[in-house]
Structure 1
Amino acid sequence: MINQSELYNKIQDQFISIWENCPEHFPATGKRFSYLEKRIWESKFDRFIKFVQNEASFEQPNKLEILRKTQIFFKEALSYSSDQLELIFSDEMLDATKDFIHKAWLFDPNLGNTEIFQALRNVWIMLGLQSFFGKEIKITPSLLAYSLLYPYTDNLIDDASINKEEKINFCQRFALRLEGESVKSESGTEQQIYDLVEMIESEFDRENYPEVYHSLLAIHDAQTQSLALVSDKPMLSEEETFKICINKGASSVIADGYLVLGNLDEKQLHFLYEYGAFLQILDDLQDARQDYLDGVMTCFSRKLPYGNLDKLICKTYFLGKTFQQSVSNLYPDEISFQGLIKKSFALLFLVSIFENQEDFSDDFILKIEKHAPFRFSFLHKRKTDLETFRDLMLQKIDEYRLSRCNA
């Protein structure tokens, strides 16, 4: 059994050191798209959107055909390989997603679509880890419970109607419950949170899997520490802020790993730490403006009153390149997964910039747009068209709600 705490601190120090040494200049390499190439990609995008909108206009859209066309679009327009598409759209992944939604409604019929979407992000990460580590792709009790835990706890901690003292008291009670103590809940939501912990206990015995619960305490501690980021102005140093932010992401994905595998070796812990930390950085980048408005001082949002984010996003790019190389070194045979991470992170990176252009200089936007397969002006005009996908997903979720009620 590895000493998780010592190894975690070692990996954390390495990650912070890499971040601190990442260049702040605009990357000199990378594929550029000509005007003609952009128009070709945009034409494919328009045909795809037109098809989806046409299907959505019917009372009973052909969802299998929409899925097939989506796969073709990902392959032909976004250049995903067949192996990468199999990781995303396999029957096992789709069936498990449906099963999660169904079981989430069973657990709490009052869950809203927003909470389902919030939970699904973690579901897909855990399903991806099951596939990556050669496990059966399915919704386990702990996968269901953990994916629902953090919509509940995040929403409770983020609830502006609950004062900071009450939030801290809840965090203390929740920590005791994660340690295996019997705790009396103070609300219906809190009781649901403890019921989810019991669901994890039904799968992982505390005596045989102590690291599972250490990892759950670690993400809880990281969430509690993140309360220090809520302020009208930066109160922490940049290094303290960065450490709090990456710990939240890293500890979350490490907990995913423990709940998938039960135990982790050193290589797995290293990969999961970097994966979670980098995902959190991308999240904080995308949410920088909203975080600033909400008084959450991440390493990105705290910079907004003093200038643009050009240098920070360049550091983020180079950090991503380092992470991709780390995955290649740790798992050299997982070529499809490496490619999927590279492509997915590149798209998230571009989306973050497109959706937050006010946070970057005009010169930076002009430079980055040359590396995007679509013109930003085109994407801006088509932005509302993408709501069709959301509407179809909401319709599908409502169908599961009805099927559950009629079962």
Structure 2
Amino acid sequence: MTFHSDLRKNIQSQFIAKWNECPDQFPESKRQFNYLEKRIWEIKFNHFLRLIKKEIRTENPNKSKILEQSKCFFEENLAYPQDQMQLIFSEEMLDATKDFIRKAWAFDYELSFGDIFQALRNLWIMLGLQSFFGKEIQTTPSLMAYSLLYPYTDNLIDSATINQNEKLDFCTRFALRLTGEQVAAKSQIESRIFDLVSLIESEFERQTYPEVYESLLAIHHAQTDSLKLVKPKSELSDAETFLIAIEKGATSVIADGYLVLGNLNQKEYHFLYEYGAYLQILDDLQDARDDFKEGIMTHFSKNLQHAKLDQLLCKTYYLGKSFYQDIKDWYPNELSFQGLIQRSFGFLILASVFQNQDDFSDHFIQTAERHAPFRFSFIQSKQTEMEPFRQHLIKMAEAYKTKEFVV
């Protein structure tokens, strides 16, 4: 990128240095939950689950009641403070989510629920940034478009039925479209992707907001670069795979920031770089086993060939702690966001261990479990019971399908 080129290289170097300096031992000072505390948490969760299942089984489940019960569980049982509850369950956030689901399915009726949920993960980060930066929380044309771009492009790039040359050919055409050229689409999915770029152009005029499009090109180049991680050609060093990961994550959230604010100052840019880079590291940690099976050699999945992930998870924890301190230094008054970030990162770290126990040593799993409010065996036993709730969420989302697309 032109304006922030030197800044980005400097932040990148600092971030890599932080990672290299992070300890790889389990943190001793982290809070532990004894057996009695875990049982109390589990009883509360069982009570919540019974209430939800009872409501779902009725002929016409009351969505408002389910939402209120969820709010009570977060606030009374998980001890979320009011300010964080407002960030998660605000009417504006819920309305923007519903609005996105309507518009996404109106744009493409054939999108799967999985695609919608993947896009929502992108959207929620941007809605959170709108709130963080004091903007109105809403699904703008560009936020909808950017959130959908990556289910489409990911599905195309990850498809086993499309060969590497075709993928690289698409990447070239997509880059041209992002620069403003009118490019003929070679497939229906490409046509959809190019239409999404047009939606962004409808909100951000290229001459006035050149950095918006530089940021979109940057994430595209980072995604293209990530094709180097695919076997059998992947012979990159740990340092090279780590750089590819943080660039992919950082450029993605920097683009989020530009689409929310239009322009970024240096502090905003630095914050978004670290935020995106760390989210990508967490993502790669959680997906290590799946990536390994698919021949994608990330910094985490490639290490599964010869080691467990104990030490890499510890480094990830300490890197998150460093980023959390940076947020406190940069935005000392944003206490709600700070607290929510701290909770979210802690949850994702523990979820990585629970969901991928084959990738960690037995001793490490036992140690990590002592810091979780639930026994891992309890969480495992609830997987099947949660399925009706998941199906209900899908039904609720599909109720927003419409044939009219109005931005």
Q: What displacement does 1:69 show? A: 0.9
Partner of 2:73: 73
SS at match of 1:383: coil
**SS of alignment partner, residue 385 of structure 2:** helix
CA displacement at 1:8 relative to structure 2: 0.9
Task: Please say if residues 27 and 314 of structure 1, whose CA atoms lie closer than 8 Å, have aligned partners that are also in contact.
Answer: yes
Name 2:49's counterpart in structure 1: 49
The residue number in structure 2 matching 1:148 is 148
SS of structure 2 residue aligned to 1:59: coil
**Ranges in structure 1 where 5+ consecutive residues have no aligned partner:** none
Residue in 1 aligned with 2:183? 183
Given that 2:228 and 2:234 are in contact with CA atoms closer than 8 Å, whether structure 1 keeps it comes out as no
Worse-superposed segment, 255-264 or 60-69: 60-69
Q: Output aligned runs, 1:139-288, within 5 Å.
A: 139-232=139-232, 234-288=234-288
Give yes or no for the alignment of 1:343 onto 2:343.
Answer: yes
Q: Which moved more, 1:376-385 or 1:198-207?
A: 376-385
Deviates more, 1:103-112 or 1:229-238: 229-238
Residue type at the aligned position of 1:3: F
Residue 233 of structure 1 contacts residue 297 of structure 1 at CA under 8 Å; is this kept in 2? no
Q: Is the 8 A contact 2:253 2:275 kept in 1?
A: yes
The alignment status of 1:115 with 2:88, answered yes or no, reads no
1:84 deviation in Å?
Answer: 0.2
Structure 2 Cα separation of the partners of residues 357 and 373 of structure 1: 17
Query: Residue by residue, what CA displacement relative to the aligned partner does 1:123-174 show, whole Å, maximum 9, x if unpaired?
Result: 1111100010000011111001100111111100001100000000100010
1:373 correspondence with 2:389: no
- In 2: Cα distance, 1:356 partner to 1:232 partner: 24
TM-aligned CA distance change 1:395 to 1:208, over 3 Å: same
Q: Counterparts of 1:73-92 in structure 2 under 5 Å? A: 73-92=73-92
Q: Does residue 131 in structure 1 map to residue 131 in structure 2?
A: yes
SS of the residue 2:109 aligns to: coil
Question: 2:36 corresponds to which residue?
Answer: 36
Amino acid of the structure 2 residue aligned with 1:228:
K
Q: Is the 8 A contact 2:153 2:193 kept in 1?
A: yes
| Alignment partners' CA distance in 2, 1:309 and 1:352 | 10
Q: Does 1:327 align with 2:327?
A: yes
Which portions of structure 1, spanning 4 or more consecutive aligned residues, are displaced by more than 3 angstroms? Answer: none
AA aligned opposite 1:395: K
Separation (CA, whole Å) in 2 of partners of 1:122 and 1:41: 30
CA distance in 1, matches of 2:399, 2:59: 13
Residue type of the alignment partner of 2:53? Q
Query: What amino acid is aligned across from residue 348 of structure 1 in structure 2?
Result: L
Show CA shifts across 1:86-134 (max 9, x none).
Answer: 0010000000000001111111111111110110001111110001000
Aligned Cα RMSD in Å?
1.4
Residue identity in the other structure for 1:355: Q
What is the alpha-carbon distance in structure 2 between the residues aligned to residue 344 and residue 281 of structure 1? 14
List gaps (5 residues or longer) in structure 2. Answer: none
Distance, in Å, in 2 between the alignment partners of 1:50 and 1:281 is 35
Q: Is the 8 A contact 1:106 1:404 kept in 2?
A: yes
Report the AA paired with residue 141 of structure 2: P
Letter in 1 for 2:342: K
State the Cα distance separating 1:389 from its structure 2 match: 2.8
**Structure 1 stretch displaced more, 71-80 or 283-292:** 71-80
- Displacement of 1:2 in angstroms is 8.3
How many angstroms does 1:274 deviate by? 0.7
| Alpha-carbon distance between aligned partners in 2 of 1:359 and 1:371, rounded to the nearest angstrom | 18
Quote the Cα distance in structure 2 between the aligned partners of 1:165 and 1:233: 14
- Decide which moves more: 280-289 or 71-80: 71-80
> Could you tell me whether the CA contact under 8 Å between 2:229 and 2:241 is conserved in 1?
yes
Q: Is the 8 A contact 1:115 1:151 kept in 2?
A: yes
Q: Quick one: distance in 1 between partners of 2:323 and 2:311?
A: 19
Deviation for aligned residue 1:59: 2.2
Separation (CA, whole Å) in 1 of partners of 2:177 and 2:319 = 36
Cα drift, residue 369 of structure 1? 0.8
Q: Cα distance, 1:80 vs. partner?
A: 1.2
Q: Paired residue for 1:303?
A: 303
Q: In structure 2, what is the Cα distance between the partners aligned to 1:47 and 1:104? A: 35
SS at match of 1:400: coil
SS in 2 for 1:380: helix
* The 10-residue stretch of structure 1 (40-49 or 390-399) with the greater mean CA deviation from structure 2: 390-399
State the AA in 1 paired with 2:370.
K
The percent identity for this pair of structures is: 60
1:176 CA displacement: 0.5
Partner of 2:353: 353
**SS of the residue 2:25 aligns to:** coil
Q: Kindly provide the CA deviation profile for residues 196-215 of structure 1, in whole angstroms up to 9, marking residues without a partner as x.
A: 10110010010010000000
Check 1:278–1:93 CA distance in 2 against 1; reply closer, same or farther (3 A cut). same
Q: How many residues align?
A: 405
* One-letter amino acid of the counterpart of residue 357, structure 1: Q
CA deviation string 1:313-346 (max 9, x = no partner): 0000000100100100110000010000000111
